Structure 1
Protein backbone atom coordinates (compact mmCIF):
# COMPACT_ATOMS: atom_id res chain seq x y z
CA UNK A 1 0.00 0.00 0.00
CA UNK A 2 1.42 3.37 -1.04
CA UNK A 3 1.85 5.86 1.75
CA UNK A 4 0.48 9.31 1.05
CA UNK A 5 3.00 11.86 2.26
CA UNK A 6 1.74 15.13 3.73
CA UNK A 7 2.02 18.33 1.72
CA UNK A 8 2.37 21.02 4.36
CA UNK A 9 2.27 23.84 1.79
CA UNK A 10 -1.24 22.72 0.82
CA UNK A 11 -2.66 21.52 4.11
CA UNK A 12 -1.14 23.44 7.01
CA UNK A 13 -2.43 26.82 8.09
CA UNK A 14 -0.17 29.82 7.82
CA UNK A 15 1.20 31.07 11.13
CA UNK A 16 0.19 34.55 10.03
CA UNK A 17 -1.83 35.48 6.96
CA UNK A 18 -0.69 37.88 4.28
CA UNK A 19 0.61 38.09 0.72
CA UNK A 20 4.29 38.01 -0.19
CA UNK A 21 6.01 39.64 -3.16
CA UNK A 22 8.48 36.86 -3.93
CA UNK A 23 9.20 33.44 -2.44
CA UNK A 24 11.64 30.90 -3.83
CA UNK A 25 15.28 29.87 -3.96
CA UNK A 26 18.61 31.60 -4.52
CA UNK A 27 22.02 30.54 -5.82
CA UNK A 28 20.91 27.35 -7.54
CA UNK A 29 23.85 25.84 -9.44
CA UNK A 30 22.71 25.44 -13.01
CA UNK A 31 24.78 24.52 -16.08
CA UNK A 32 23.07 25.98 -19.13
CA UNK A 33 23.48 25.91 -22.88
CA UNK A 34 23.26 29.59 -23.80
CA UNK A 35 22.27 30.79 -27.27
CA UNK A 36 22.98 34.29 -28.54
CA UNK A 37 23.13 35.86 -32.00
CA UNK A 38 26.54 35.66 -33.64
CA UNK A 39 27.87 33.06 -31.18
CA UNK A 40 27.97 29.30 -31.12
CA UNK A 41 25.80 27.87 -28.36
CA UNK A 42 28.01 27.72 -25.29
CA UNK A 43 27.74 25.95 -21.94
CA UNK A 44 27.92 28.32 -18.99
CA UNK A 45 27.75 27.63 -15.27
CA UNK A 46 25.01 29.86 -13.92
CA UNK A 47 23.62 30.69 -10.51
CA UNK A 48 19.84 30.92 -10.60
CA UNK A 49 17.36 32.70 -8.35
CA UNK A 50 13.80 31.44 -8.86
CA UNK A 51 10.65 32.98 -7.39
CA UNK A 52 6.88 33.16 -7.50
CA UNK A 53 4.70 35.54 -5.55
CA UNK A 54 2.38 34.25 -2.83
CA UNK A 55 -0.98 35.89 -3.38
CA UNK A 56 -3.01 33.38 -1.35
CA UNK A 57 -3.05 34.93 2.11
CA UNK A 58 -4.03 31.65 3.78
CA UNK A 59 -1.41 29.43 2.11
CA UNK A 60 1.45 28.13 4.23
CA UNK A 61 3.99 28.36 1.40
CA UNK A 62 4.89 27.52 -2.18
CA UNK A 63 6.13 24.31 -3.85
CA UNK A 64 9.83 25.07 -4.22
CA UNK A 65 10.64 21.70 -5.77
CA UNK A 66 8.45 22.59 -8.75
CA UNK A 67 10.59 25.64 -9.42
CA UNK A 68 13.75 23.58 -9.16
CA UNK A 69 12.48 20.87 -11.53
CA UNK A 70 11.42 23.42 -14.16
CA UNK A 71 14.93 24.90 -14.07
CA UNK A 72 16.44 21.43 -14.24
CA UNK A 73 14.49 20.76 -17.44
CA UNK A 74 15.90 23.99 -18.88
CA UNK A 75 19.38 22.88 -17.88
CA UNK A 76 19.23 19.31 -19.17
CA UNK A 77 16.86 19.42 -22.13
CA UNK A 78 16.78 22.94 -23.54
CA UNK A 79 18.88 25.90 -24.64
CA UNK A 80 18.49 29.24 -22.89
CA UNK A 81 16.66 31.64 -25.23
CA UNK A 82 13.97 34.27 -24.56
CA UNK A 83 11.33 31.69 -25.50
CA UNK A 84 12.57 28.92 -23.20
CA UNK A 85 12.97 31.39 -20.34
CA UNK A 86 9.33 32.43 -20.76
CA UNK A 87 8.33 28.76 -20.78
CA UNK A 88 10.05 28.29 -17.44
CA UNK A 89 8.21 31.26 -15.96
CA UNK A 90 4.87 30.07 -17.32
CA UNK A 91 5.59 26.68 -15.74
CA UNK A 92 6.27 28.35 -12.39
CA UNK A 93 2.85 30.03 -12.47
CA UNK A 94 0.88 27.07 -13.84
CA UNK A 95 2.34 24.77 -11.19
CA UNK A 96 1.19 27.18 -8.47
CA UNK A 97 -2.44 27.72 -9.42
CA UNK A 98 -4.33 29.20 -6.53
CA UNK A 99 -1.10 30.35 -4.91
CA UNK A 100 0.75 32.56 -7.40
CA UNK A 101 0.18 34.63 -10.51
CA UNK A 102 3.69 36.04 -11.04
CA UNK A 103 7.16 34.53 -11.48
CA UNK A 104 10.75 35.67 -11.72
CA UNK A 105 14.07 34.07 -12.70
CA UNK A 106 17.52 35.65 -12.40
CA UNK A 107 20.41 33.83 -14.13
CA UNK A 108 23.97 35.04 -13.51
CA UNK A 109 27.01 33.66 -15.33
CA UNK A 110 30.35 34.48 -16.92
CA UNK A 111 30.29 34.52 -20.71
CA UNK A 112 33.72 33.65 -22.19
CA UNK A 113 34.45 35.23 -25.56
CA UNK A 114 37.42 35.03 -27.91
CA UNK A 115 38.66 38.57 -28.44
CA UNK A 116 41.26 39.80 -30.92
CA UNK A 117 44.09 42.13 -29.91
CA UNK A 118 44.25 45.66 -31.24
CA UNK A 119 46.90 45.28 -33.97
CA UNK A 120 48.62 41.88 -33.88
CA UNK A 121 45.26 40.07 -34.16
CA UNK A 122 46.31 37.55 -31.53
CA UNK A 123 43.33 36.10 -29.71
CA UNK A 124 42.59 35.35 -26.09
CA UNK A 125 39.68 34.65 -23.77
CA UNK A 126 37.81 37.41 -21.96
CA UNK A 127 34.94 36.69 -19.58
CA UNK A 128 32.02 39.06 -19.29
CA UNK A 129 29.69 38.89 -16.26
CA UNK A 130 26.13 38.58 -17.58
CA UNK A 131 22.78 38.50 -15.79
CA UNK A 132 19.55 37.55 -17.55
CA UNK A 133 16.32 38.34 -15.71
CA UNK A 134 12.88 37.21 -16.82
CA UNK A 135 9.62 38.18 -15.13
CA UNK A 136 5.97 37.32 -15.74
CA UNK A 137 3.66 39.69 -13.89
CA UNK A 138 0.14 40.74 -14.71
CA UNK A 139 0.32 38.38 -17.67
CA UNK A 140 3.19 40.39 -19.17
CA UNK A 141 6.65 38.96 -19.94
CA UNK A 142 9.59 41.27 -19.21
CA UNK A 143 13.16 40.50 -20.20
CA UNK A 144 16.35 42.19 -19.02
CA UNK A 145 20.05 41.69 -19.76
CA UNK A 146 22.75 43.11 -17.48
CA UNK A 147 26.41 43.22 -18.44
CA UNK A 148 29.72 44.42 -17.01
CA UNK A 149 32.32 45.83 -19.41
CA UNK A 150 35.83 46.56 -18.09
CA UNK A 151 37.90 49.30 -19.68
CA UNK A 152 40.73 51.76 -18.99
CA UNK A 153 40.07 55.43 -18.23
CA UNK A 154 42.77 58.10 -18.33
CA UNK A 155 42.13 61.24 -16.30
CA UNK A 156 41.92 64.43 -18.44
CA UNK A 157 43.08 66.59 -15.52
CA UNK A 158 46.10 64.39 -14.89
CA UNK A 159 46.93 64.45 -18.62
CA UNK A 160 46.85 68.26 -18.68
CA UNK A 161 49.10 68.47 -15.62
CA UNK A 162 51.54 65.99 -17.16
CA UNK A 163 51.68 68.02 -20.39
CA UNK A 164 52.42 71.16 -18.37
CA UNK A 165 55.34 69.45 -16.59
CA UNK A 166 56.75 68.33 -19.95
CA UNK A 167 56.52 71.90 -21.25
CA UNK A 168 58.26 73.19 -18.12
CA UNK A 169 61.04 70.62 -18.45
CA UNK A 170 61.52 71.61 -22.09
CA UNK A 171 61.74 75.30 -21.20
CA UNK A 172 64.20 74.70 -18.37
CA UNK A 173 66.53 72.69 -20.56
CA UNK A 174 66.31 74.48 -23.91
CA UNK A 175 65.05 78.02 -23.37
CA UNK A 176 68.45 79.52 -24.26
CA UNK A 177 69.26 77.19 -27.17
CA UNK A 178 68.47 76.95 -30.82
CA UNK A 179 67.31 73.41 -31.49
CA UNK A 180 67.27 71.20 -34.55
CA UNK A 181 64.50 68.77 -35.37
CA UNK A 182 66.76 65.83 -34.43
CA UNK A 183 67.51 67.28 -30.99
CA UNK A 184 63.83 67.79 -30.18
CA UNK A 185 62.96 64.38 -31.57
CA UNK A 186 65.61 62.70 -29.42
CA UNK A 187 64.58 64.60 -26.30
CA UNK A 188 60.92 63.65 -26.70
CA UNK A 189 61.92 59.99 -26.76
CA UNK A 190 63.95 60.21 -23.54
CA UNK A 191 62.95 59.80 -19.89
CA UNK A 192 64.11 63.41 -19.40
CA UNK A 193 61.61 64.51 -22.00
CA UNK A 194 58.59 62.63 -20.68
CA UNK A 195 58.94 63.67 -17.05
CA UNK A 196 55.31 62.87 -16.16
CA UNK A 197 52.55 60.58 -17.33
CA UNK A 198 48.81 60.86 -16.64
CA UNK A 199 47.20 58.33 -14.34
CA UNK A 200 44.66 55.84 -15.58
CA UNK A 201 42.63 53.18 -13.84
CA UNK A 202 40.70 50.04 -14.52
CA UNK A 203 37.04 50.98 -14.85
CA UNK A 204 33.78 49.09 -15.15
CA UNK A 205 30.54 50.01 -16.89
CA UNK A 206 27.53 48.23 -15.35
CA UNK A 207 24.85 48.11 -18.05
CA UNK A 208 21.23 46.96 -17.88
CA UNK A 209 18.86 46.96 -20.85
CA UNK A 210 15.25 45.90 -21.23
CA UNK A 211 14.44 43.84 -24.32
CA UNK A 212 11.15 43.65 -26.16
CA UNK A 213 8.85 40.95 -24.78
CA UNK A 214 8.66 39.30 -28.20
CA UNK A 215 12.46 39.08 -28.62
CA UNK A 216 13.39 35.92 -30.49
CA UNK A 217 17.04 35.82 -29.47
CA UNK A 218 19.63 37.36 -27.23
CA UNK A 219 22.34 39.49 -28.85
CA UNK A 220 24.99 39.82 -26.16
CA UNK A 221 27.84 40.16 -28.65
CA UNK A 222 26.33 43.24 -30.31
CA UNK A 223 25.76 44.83 -26.90
CA UNK A 224 29.36 44.19 -25.80
CA UNK A 225 30.80 45.38 -29.12
CA UNK A 226 28.78 48.60 -29.11
CA UNK A 227 29.81 49.52 -25.55
CA UNK A 228 33.49 48.71 -26.13
CA UNK A 229 33.53 50.59 -29.43
CA UNK A 230 32.02 53.66 -27.78
CA UNK A 231 34.48 53.66 -24.87
CA UNK A 232 37.48 52.86 -27.14
CA UNK A 233 39.70 51.41 -24.38
CA UNK A 234 38.40 47.97 -23.31
CA UNK A 235 40.89 45.82 -21.41
CA UNK A 236 42.74 43.37 -23.61
CA UNK A 237 43.37 39.61 -23.62
CA UNK A 238 46.41 38.64 -25.73
CA UNK A 239 48.85 41.56 -26.01
CA UNK A 240 52.03 41.99 -28.06
CA UNK A 241 54.17 45.15 -27.89
CA UNK A 242 52.38 46.76 -30.82
CA UNK A 243 49.06 46.12 -29.07
CA UNK A 244 50.30 47.71 -25.85
CA UNK A 245 51.49 50.75 -27.77
CA UNK A 246 48.14 51.06 -29.53
CA UNK A 247 46.37 50.74 -26.17
CA UNK A 248 48.50 53.61 -24.84
CA UNK A 249 47.59 55.70 -27.90
CA UNK A 250 43.88 54.98 -27.46
CA UNK A 251 44.06 55.99 -23.81
CA UNK A 252 45.81 59.22 -24.74
CA UNK A 253 43.25 60.06 -27.42
CA UNK A 254 40.21 59.15 -25.29
CA UNK A 255 40.69 60.93 -21.97
CA UNK A 256 37.65 60.38 -19.75
CA UNK A 257 36.20 61.48 -16.46
CA UNK A 258 33.43 59.18 -15.24
CA UNK A 259 30.97 61.83 -16.50
CA UNK A 260 32.42 61.54 -20.00
CA UNK A 261 32.03 57.77 -20.07
CA UNK A 262 28.45 57.97 -18.76
CA UNK A 263 27.48 60.56 -21.38
CA UNK A 264 29.06 58.54 -24.19
CA UNK A 265 27.01 55.48 -23.25
CA UNK A 266 23.85 57.49 -22.62
CA UNK A 267 24.04 58.86 -26.16
CA UNK A 268 24.67 55.34 -27.47
CA UNK A 269 21.61 53.87 -25.76
CA UNK A 270 19.37 56.81 -26.56
CA UNK A 271 19.88 55.85 -30.21
CA UNK A 272 19.38 52.12 -29.60
CA UNK A 273 16.34 49.85 -29.89
CA UNK A 274 16.27 48.91 -26.20
CA UNK A 275 13.09 49.73 -24.29
CA UNK A 276 15.00 51.09 -21.32
CA UNK A 277 18.58 51.31 -20.08
CA UNK A 278 20.57 51.78 -16.88
CA UNK A 279 24.22 52.82 -16.75
CA UNK A 280 26.56 52.90 -13.77
CA UNK A 281 30.14 53.99 -14.41
CA UNK A 282 32.82 53.05 -11.87
CA UNK A 283 36.31 54.54 -12.16
CA UNK A 284 38.45 52.78 -9.56
CA UNK A 285 40.82 55.65 -8.92
CA UNK A 286 44.58 55.16 -8.88
CA UNK A 287 45.10 58.65 -7.38
CA UNK A 288 42.39 58.58 -4.71
CA UNK A 289 41.39 55.92 -2.20
CA UNK A 290 37.77 56.35 -3.31
CA UNK A 291 35.98 55.70 -6.59
CA UNK A 292 34.50 58.10 -9.13
CA UNK A 293 30.94 57.09 -10.04
CA UNK A 294 28.28 58.31 -12.48
CA UNK A 295 24.77 57.06 -13.29
CA UNK A 296 22.44 57.55 -16.24
CA UNK A 297 18.99 56.15 -17.06
CA UNK A 298 16.48 56.70 -19.83
CA UNK A 299 14.16 58.44 -17.38
CA UNK A 300 10.90 56.57 -17.94
CA UNK A 301 8.34 57.09 -15.15
CA UNK A 302 8.09 53.34 -14.52
CA UNK A 303 11.55 52.49 -15.77
CA UNK A 304 14.99 52.20 -14.21
CA UNK A 305 15.68 54.58 -11.36
CA UNK A 306 18.91 55.68 -9.65
Structure 2
Protein backbone atom coordinates (compact mmCIF):
# COMPACT_ATOMS: atom_id res chain seq x y z
CA UNK A 1 0.00 0.00 0.00
CA UNK A 2 1.22 3.48 -0.86
CA UNK A 3 3.00 5.19 2.03
CA UNK A 4 3.26 2.02 4.04
CA UNK A 5 6.78 1.32 5.33
CA UNK A 6 8.35 -1.98 4.37
CA UNK A 7 9.73 -4.10 7.23
CA UNK A 8 13.51 -3.86 7.65
CA UNK A 9 15.32 -7.20 7.65
CA UNK A 10 19.00 -7.59 8.54
CA UNK A 11 21.19 -8.52 5.58
CA UNK A 12 22.59 -12.04 5.81
CA UNK A 13 26.31 -12.46 6.60
CA UNK A 14 27.35 -15.98 5.66
CA UNK A 15 31.00 -15.22 6.46
CA UNK A 16 30.27 -15.79 10.13
CA UNK A 17 28.60 -19.14 9.46
CA UNK A 18 30.03 -22.54 10.33
CA UNK A 19 33.05 -23.91 8.49
CA UNK A 20 33.51 -27.37 7.07
CA UNK A 21 36.94 -27.82 8.67
CA UNK A 22 36.76 -25.85 11.94
CA UNK A 23 40.42 -26.22 12.88
CA UNK A 24 41.95 -24.61 9.78
CA UNK A 25 43.33 -21.12 10.17
CA UNK A 26 44.64 -19.30 7.08
CA UNK A 27 47.88 -17.42 6.49
CA UNK A 28 46.41 -14.63 4.36
CA UNK A 29 42.98 -13.74 3.04
CA UNK A 30 42.12 -10.63 1.07
CA UNK A 31 42.08 -9.07 -2.38
CA UNK A 32 44.56 -8.55 -5.20
CA UNK A 33 44.75 -6.02 -8.01
CA UNK A 34 42.67 -3.20 -6.52
CA UNK A 35 43.02 -0.08 -8.71
CA UNK A 36 43.84 2.96 -6.60
CA UNK A 37 45.33 6.40 -7.32
CA UNK A 38 48.16 7.21 -4.91
CA UNK A 39 50.89 9.81 -4.70
CA UNK A 40 54.52 9.43 -3.73
CA UNK A 41 57.42 11.70 -2.84
CA UNK A 42 60.24 9.68 -4.35
CA UNK A 43 62.87 11.70 -2.52
CA UNK A 44 63.03 14.91 -4.54
CA UNK A 45 60.38 16.80 -2.57
CA UNK A 46 57.81 16.51 -5.37
CA UNK A 47 54.63 14.48 -4.97
CA UNK A 48 53.76 12.51 -8.09
CA UNK A 49 50.42 10.80 -8.63
CA UNK A 50 50.25 7.32 -10.14
CA UNK A 51 47.65 4.61 -10.61
CA UNK A 52 48.58 1.60 -8.51
CA UNK A 53 47.42 -1.98 -8.18
CA UNK A 54 47.04 -2.82 -4.51
CA UNK A 55 46.84 -6.15 -2.70
CA UNK A 56 45.40 -6.17 0.83
CA UNK A 57 45.35 -9.07 3.29
CA UNK A 58 44.84 -10.10 6.89
CA UNK A 59 45.35 -13.55 8.36
CA UNK A 60 42.39 -15.58 9.56
CA UNK A 61 43.51 -16.70 13.01
CA UNK A 62 40.08 -17.62 14.31
CA UNK A 63 39.70 -21.06 12.81
CA UNK A 64 35.96 -21.38 13.46
CA UNK A 65 35.16 -18.23 11.47
CA UNK A 66 34.37 -18.89 7.83
CA UNK A 67 35.84 -15.72 6.31
CA UNK A 68 36.91 -12.10 6.71
CA UNK A 69 35.12 -8.85 5.85
CA UNK A 70 36.79 -7.88 2.57
CA UNK A 71 34.68 -4.75 2.13
CA UNK A 72 36.25 -3.36 5.30
CA UNK A 73 39.72 -3.70 3.78
CA UNK A 74 38.61 -1.98 0.60
CA UNK A 75 37.01 0.96 2.39
CA UNK A 76 40.04 1.40 4.65
CA UNK A 77 42.31 1.41 1.58
CA UNK A 78 40.26 4.15 0.00
CA UNK A 79 40.19 6.15 3.24
CA UNK A 80 43.91 5.93 4.02
CA UNK A 81 45.54 5.73 0.56
CA UNK A 82 43.09 6.84 -2.14
CA UNK A 83 44.76 9.85 -3.77
CA UNK A 84 46.93 10.35 -0.70
CA UNK A 85 50.68 10.30 -0.16
CA UNK A 86 52.42 7.00 0.57
CA UNK A 87 54.88 7.11 3.46
CA UNK A 88 55.85 4.69 6.27
CA UNK A 89 53.58 6.20 8.97
CA UNK A 90 50.58 6.08 6.62
CA UNK A 91 51.24 2.45 5.72
CA UNK A 92 51.66 1.48 9.37
CA UNK A 93 48.41 3.22 10.28
CA UNK A 94 46.57 1.46 7.46
CA UNK A 95 47.78 -1.99 8.52
CA UNK A 96 46.82 -1.27 12.12
CA UNK A 97 43.35 -0.31 10.88
CA UNK A 98 43.15 -3.60 8.94
CA UNK A 99 43.82 -5.57 12.12
CA UNK A 100 41.48 -3.45 14.25
CA UNK A 101 38.69 -3.91 11.70
CA UNK A 102 39.02 -7.67 12.21
CA UNK A 103 39.52 -7.71 15.97
CA UNK A 104 39.31 -11.25 17.23
CA UNK A 105 39.79 -12.68 13.72
CA UNK A 106 43.23 -11.42 12.68
CA UNK A 107 46.48 -10.32 14.29
CA UNK A 108 48.54 -9.74 11.13
CA UNK A 109 48.10 -7.61 8.02
CA UNK A 110 49.89 -7.24 4.71
CA UNK A 111 49.84 -4.70 1.91
CA UNK A 112 51.46 -4.69 -1.54
CA UNK A 113 51.41 -1.67 -3.87
CA UNK A 114 52.59 -1.95 -7.50
CA UNK A 115 52.90 0.83 -10.05
CA UNK A 116 55.12 2.32 -12.74
CA UNK A 117 56.93 5.47 -11.68
CA UNK A 118 57.76 7.98 -14.47
CA UNK A 119 61.07 9.84 -14.35
CA UNK A 120 62.23 12.59 -16.73
CA UNK A 121 65.64 11.71 -18.16
CA UNK A 122 68.11 13.78 -20.19
CA UNK A 123 69.64 12.41 -23.39
CA UNK A 124 73.36 11.65 -23.32
CA UNK A 125 74.50 14.48 -25.64
CA UNK A 126 71.72 16.09 -27.68
CA UNK A 127 70.08 18.03 -24.85
CA UNK A 128 66.69 16.38 -25.43
CA UNK A 129 64.63 14.78 -22.67
CA UNK A 130 62.26 11.83 -22.45
CA UNK A 131 60.37 9.72 -19.94
CA UNK A 132 61.45 6.44 -18.40
CA UNK A 133 58.97 4.37 -16.39
CA UNK A 134 60.26 2.13 -13.61
CA UNK A 135 58.21 -0.78 -12.20
CA UNK A 136 57.99 -0.30 -8.42
CA UNK A 137 56.66 -2.46 -5.60
CA UNK A 138 56.11 -1.47 -1.97
CA UNK A 139 55.27 -4.20 0.52
CA UNK A 140 54.39 -3.62 4.16
CA UNK A 141 53.65 -6.27 6.77
CA UNK A 142 52.44 -5.88 10.34
CA UNK A 143 52.65 -8.69 12.90
CA UNK A 144 52.02 -8.82 16.63
CA UNK A 145 55.57 -7.60 17.34
CA UNK A 146 57.00 -6.17 14.10
CA UNK A 147 56.33 -3.80 11.21
CA UNK A 148 58.43 -4.37 8.08
CA UNK A 149 58.59 -2.26 4.95
CA UNK A 150 60.21 -3.28 1.66
CA UNK A 151 60.83 -1.22 -1.46
CA UNK A 152 61.46 -2.85 -4.84
CA UNK A 153 62.37 -1.41 -8.23
CA UNK A 154 63.35 -2.69 -11.65
CA UNK A 155 66.15 -1.05 -13.65
CA UNK A 156 66.77 -1.87 -17.32
CA UNK A 157 70.25 -1.44 -18.78
CA UNK A 158 72.53 -2.57 -21.59
CA UNK A 159 75.28 -5.12 -21.02
CA UNK A 160 78.09 -5.89 -23.46
CA UNK A 161 79.72 -9.30 -23.07
CA UNK A 162 83.46 -9.15 -22.16
CA UNK A 163 84.13 -12.56 -23.75
CA UNK A 164 82.44 -11.55 -26.99
CA UNK A 165 84.39 -8.28 -27.01
CA UNK A 166 87.71 -10.14 -26.63
CA UNK A 167 86.81 -12.57 -29.43
CA UNK A 168 85.80 -9.67 -31.68
CA UNK A 169 89.06 -7.84 -31.04
CA UNK A 170 91.00 -10.98 -31.94
CA UNK A 171 89.19 -11.28 -35.27
CA UNK A 172 89.87 -7.62 -36.04
CA UNK A 173 93.57 -8.10 -35.23
CA UNK A 174 93.73 -11.12 -37.53
CA UNK A 175 92.01 -9.22 -40.34
CA UNK A 176 94.42 -6.30 -39.87
CA UNK A 177 97.38 -8.67 -40.12
CA UNK A 178 96.01 -10.06 -43.40
CA UNK A 179 95.23 -6.65 -44.89
CA UNK A 180 98.48 -5.03 -43.74
CA UNK A 181 101.33 -7.54 -43.98
CA UNK A 182 104.44 -6.86 -41.92
CA UNK A 183 106.58 -6.28 -45.04
CA UNK A 184 104.31 -3.50 -46.34
CA UNK A 185 104.72 0.12 -45.11
CA UNK A 186 101.69 1.49 -43.23
CA UNK A 187 99.81 4.43 -44.69
CA UNK A 188 97.75 6.45 -42.24
CA UNK A 189 95.01 7.40 -44.72
CA UNK A 190 94.60 3.78 -45.79
CA UNK A 191 94.35 2.64 -42.18
CA UNK A 192 91.76 5.30 -41.40
CA UNK A 193 89.66 4.10 -44.34
CA UNK A 194 90.06 0.51 -43.17
CA UNK A 195 88.93 1.39 -39.66
CA UNK A 196 85.77 2.98 -41.03
CA UNK A 197 84.92 0.06 -43.31
CA UNK A 198 82.73 -2.92 -42.47
CA UNK A 199 85.33 -5.21 -44.03
CA UNK A 200 87.89 -3.99 -41.51
CA UNK A 201 85.81 -3.97 -38.35
CA UNK A 202 84.29 -7.30 -39.28
CA UNK A 203 83.18 -8.38 -35.79
CA UNK A 204 81.31 -6.66 -32.96
CA UNK A 205 80.59 -7.93 -29.45
CA UNK A 206 77.07 -8.90 -28.57
CA UNK A 207 75.11 -6.70 -26.15
CA UNK A 208 71.67 -7.21 -24.71
CA UNK A 209 68.95 -5.47 -22.79
CA UNK A 210 69.33 -6.50 -19.17
CA UNK A 211 67.21 -6.21 -16.04
CA UNK A 212 68.12 -5.65 -12.41
CA UNK A 213 65.46 -6.36 -9.79
CA UNK A 214 66.26 -4.67 -6.49
CA UNK A 215 64.40 -5.22 -3.24
CA UNK A 216 65.46 -3.52 -0.02
CA UNK A 217 64.08 -3.85 3.48
CA UNK A 218 64.07 -0.40 5.02
CA UNK A 219 65.53 0.29 8.42
CA UNK A 220 63.21 1.67 11.08
CA UNK A 221 62.44 5.33 10.40
CA UNK A 222 63.86 5.31 6.86
CA UNK A 223 61.98 7.15 4.11
CA UNK A 224 60.82 5.76 0.77
CA UNK A 225 63.64 7.36 -1.25
CA UNK A 226 62.83 5.61 -4.50
CA UNK A 227 64.84 7.93 -6.75
CA UNK A 228 67.99 7.39 -4.73
CA UNK A 229 67.63 3.63 -5.17
CA UNK A 230 67.06 3.89 -8.92
CA UNK A 231 69.71 6.54 -9.59
CA UNK A 232 72.34 4.75 -7.51
CA UNK A 233 71.69 1.49 -9.36
CA UNK A 234 71.88 3.13 -12.79
CA UNK A 235 75.11 4.91 -11.91
CA UNK A 236 76.64 1.65 -10.73
CA UNK A 237 75.58 -0.21 -13.87
CA UNK A 238 76.78 2.59 -16.15
CA UNK A 239 74.64 1.94 -19.23
CA UNK A 240 70.93 2.38 -18.40
CA UNK A 241 68.58 2.31 -21.39
CA UNK A 242 67.72 5.70 -22.86
CA UNK A 243 64.57 7.64 -23.72
CA UNK A 244 65.18 10.43 -26.27
CA UNK A 245 67.91 9.34 -28.72
CA UNK A 246 69.44 11.25 -31.64
CA UNK A 247 72.48 9.98 -33.56
CA UNK A 248 74.90 11.75 -31.24
CA UNK A 249 73.18 10.11 -28.28
CA UNK A 250 73.39 6.69 -29.90
CA UNK A 251 77.09 7.18 -30.55
CA UNK A 252 77.63 8.17 -26.93
CA UNK A 253 75.72 5.07 -25.85
CA UNK A 254 77.92 2.87 -28.05
CA UNK A 255 81.00 4.45 -26.48
CA UNK A 256 79.65 3.87 -22.97
CA UNK A 257 78.95 0.22 -23.77
CA UNK A 258 82.44 -0.29 -25.18
CA UNK A 259 83.94 1.09 -21.98
CA UNK A 260 81.57 -0.83 -19.70
CA UNK A 261 81.91 -4.54 -20.45
CA UNK A 262 80.22 -6.79 -17.90
CA UNK A 263 78.95 -10.24 -17.14
CA UNK A 264 75.83 -10.67 -15.02
CA UNK A 265 78.16 -11.51 -12.11
CA UNK A 266 79.85 -8.11 -12.50
CA UNK A 267 76.50 -6.32 -12.48
CA UNK A 268 75.33 -8.12 -9.32
CA UNK A 269 78.56 -7.26 -7.49
CA UNK A 270 78.32 -3.60 -8.49
CA UNK A 271 74.78 -3.39 -7.14
CA UNK A 272 75.77 -5.17 -3.95
CA UNK A 273 78.44 -2.56 -3.23
CA UNK A 274 75.87 0.21 -3.73
CA UNK A 275 73.29 -1.33 -1.42
CA UNK A 276 75.86 -2.21 1.23
CA UNK A 277 76.67 1.50 1.50
CA UNK A 278 73.14 2.89 1.19
CA UNK A 279 71.64 4.74 4.15
CA UNK A 280 68.39 3.41 5.58
CA UNK A 281 68.72 -0.14 4.21
CA UNK A 282 68.48 -3.05 6.66
CA UNK A 283 68.80 -5.86 4.10
CA UNK A 284 68.49 -6.40 0.36
CA UNK A 285 67.96 -8.93 -2.41
CA UNK A 286 69.23 -8.56 -5.98
CA UNK A 287 68.35 -10.47 -9.14
CA UNK A 288 70.19 -9.61 -12.34
CA UNK A 289 69.17 -11.08 -15.72
CA UNK A 290 71.03 -10.56 -19.00
CA UNK A 291 68.56 -11.42 -21.75
CA UNK A 292 71.15 -12.89 -24.07
CA UNK A 293 71.31 -12.17 -27.77
CA UNK A 294 73.67 -15.16 -28.18
CA UNK A 295 71.47 -17.71 -26.40
CA UNK A 296 67.74 -18.30 -26.22
CA UNK A 297 68.06 -18.32 -22.42
CA UNK A 298 69.09 -15.70 -19.86
CA UNK A 299 72.23 -15.36 -17.79
CA UNK A 300 71.18 -14.70 -14.19
CA UNK A 301 72.90 -13.80 -10.91
CA UNK A 302 71.53 -13.33 -7.38
CA UNK A 303 72.93 -11.53 -4.36
CA UNK A 304 71.63 -10.64 -0.91
CA UNK A 305 72.90 -9.14 2.27
CA UNK A 306 72.20 -7.63 5.68
CA UNK A 307 73.39 -4.11 6.42
CA UNK A 308 74.50 -2.54 9.66
CA UNK A 309 71.90 -0.06 10.93
CA UNK A 310 73.01 3.45 9.94
Q: Same fold (TM over 0.5)?
A: yes
Cα RMSD of the aligned pairs, angstroms, is 1.5
Q: 1:121 Cα deviation (Å)?
A: 2.6
Task: Name the SS for the 1:148 alignment partner.
Answer: strand
Structure-2 separation of matches of 1:186 and 1:147: 46
Q: 1:61 Cα deviation (Å)?
A: 1.0
Q: 1:39 Cα deviation (Å)?
A: 5.1
Q: For the Cα contact (< 8 Å) 1:74–1:80, is it kept in 2?
A: no
Q: 1:80 Cα deviation (Å)?
A: 1.6
Deviations 1:170-212 (A, max 9, x none): 0001013111333323321222221111000000001100112
In the TM superposition, 1:75-90 aligns within 5 A as 75-76=81-82, 78-90=84-96
Q: Paired residues, what number?
A: 298
The answer to whether the aligner puts 1:272 opposite 2:275 as a matched pair is no
What TM-score, normalized by structure 1, do the two folds share?
A: 0.93
Q: 1:51 Cα deviation (Å)?
A: 0.3
The answer to whether the aligner puts 1:16 opposite 2:18 as a matched pair is no
Identify the residue that residue 292 of structure 2 maps to in structure 1.
285
Identify the residue that residue 208 of structure 1 maps to in structure 2.
215
In the TM superposition, 1:232-271 aligns within 5 A as 232-271=238-277
The answer to whether the aligner puts 1:139 opposite 2:153 as a matched pair is no
In the TM superposition, 1:116-155 aligns within 5 A as 116-155=122-161
Structure-2 separation of matches of 1:79 and 1:198: 46
Structure-2 separation of matches of 1:99 and 1:77: 29
Aligned partner of 1:297 among 291, 296, 304: 304
Query: Which structure: larger Rg?
Result: 2
Task: Name the SS for the 1:255 alignment partner.
Answer: coil
Identify the residue that residue 304 of structure 1 maps to in structure 2.
none
Structure-1 separation of matches of 2:133 and 2:149: 22
Structure-2 separation of matches of 1:77 and 1:245: 42
Structure-2 separation of matches of 1:121 and 1:99: 58
Any unmatched runs of 5+ in structure 2? 1-6
Structure-2 separation of matches of 1:181 and 1:73: 73
Q: For the Cα contact (< 8 Å) 1:92–1:103, is it kept in 2?
A: yes
Structure-1 separation of matches of 2:190 and 2:94: 71
In the TM superposition, 1:39-118 aligns within 5 A as 40-76=46-82, 78-118=84-124
